[in-house]
Amino acid sequence: MLDEHPHDDDVARLARQVEKARGRLAYQFDPALTGALSEEELNAERELAERIRTQNREQRWKHAEAAAEASDRARNTSEAIEKADIRDLLLARKAIAAQRRESSPHARLASLYRHRSWSLGALAGVVASGMLWSAVNVQHNIAPGGPDDPLYWFSYLLEAMISVSLIIIMIGTNKVTEWGVLDNRSQVAAAEIALLALTVALNTYPHVSAGRWFDAAVHGVAPVMIGVALLIHDAASARYGRAITYATEQVRSLPDPGAHDPLPVPQSIPDDPDELQVPDGADSQRAMSDDIQWSTAHTSDLGASASR
């Protein structure tokens, strides 16, 4: 009996091992054993998910910025196109207005008058500048002593007499030429030549007497320019006067663009009320519209006349 007891223990132990092995065999290939993540793997997966979400947010923000920039560029482009269209429209209107001014006889006459006023005014400025320079130069030549000498101040009057005479000739010639008066041109020319020679002599005589011909030529530029400006003034005044006369003759036969249509004559009201014709329907509305338009035009014409 002692020999059989150890053998039974071995058999029982083997039976238990077999049973245990069969139990392990049922679960050892279960995917849960290998698919379950450890704590380190779970932490790594969480960090990866957070990084992915961060990248997605950055990409969405970049898409939003790109869309905003594209919208801004589109808006700026539209504004630039609209501004270019407006500039083209304004330029076209200016071109049309310029073409109307060039083709309109009244506008051409006004442009001619403006050019005449500007040209003659510029020539008058040249003459005035030369006269001022000549006055100072003549004063220095006659009385170089200084302010203590009474002639220092009265010497300005000498050049002023010459300048005033030249200005009177220039303005008077311009005014009489506008009316076609061209008498005594030789006398006027002789007076201008005499005054010009006198002012040239007063400006250059100290240098001529000393033999300094270069200085004499330099100091003679201003009075010579006065004479040249006077000659150009006379010629331009005569030419502009003739051109304005010809243009006026052409415009005179054309209708005045600023004239208004005459007011309509009111109809007489009959004494008998039965003779009055009362319009109906469309005739009544058309008559009322005509009255309103005539009243509005008449009121604007009266307002424009009052403002003038």
Q: Which pLDDT value is given to residue 182?
A: 67
Locate the DSSP E strands across 82-238. none
* 10/69: higher pLDDT: 69
SS3 266: coil
User: Which pLDDT band holds residue 200 (cuts at 50, 70, 90)?
Assistant: confident
Residues 6+ apart with CB under 8 A from 147: 153
How far apart CA 136 and CA 141 sit, in angstroms, is 9
Q: Which pLDDT value is given to residue 4?
A: 53
Through-space distance between the first and last CA atoms of the chain, rounded to whole angstroms:
153
SS3 151: helix
Q: How far is CA 98 from CA 120, 257, 264, in A?
A: 24, 17, 35
The model's pTM: 0.48
Instruction: Look at residue 76 and tell me whether its pLDDT is greater than 70.
Output: yes
Instruction: Look at residue 278 and tell me whether its pLDDT is greater than 60.
Output: no
Q: How far is CA 169 from CA 131, 132, 185, 189, 235, in A?
A: 14, 18, 11, 9, 13
How far apart CA 259 and CA 249 sit, in angstroms, is 18
What tokens does 262 get? Answer: 């005459």
Instruction: Look at residue 144 and tell me whether its pLDDT is greater than 80.
Output: no
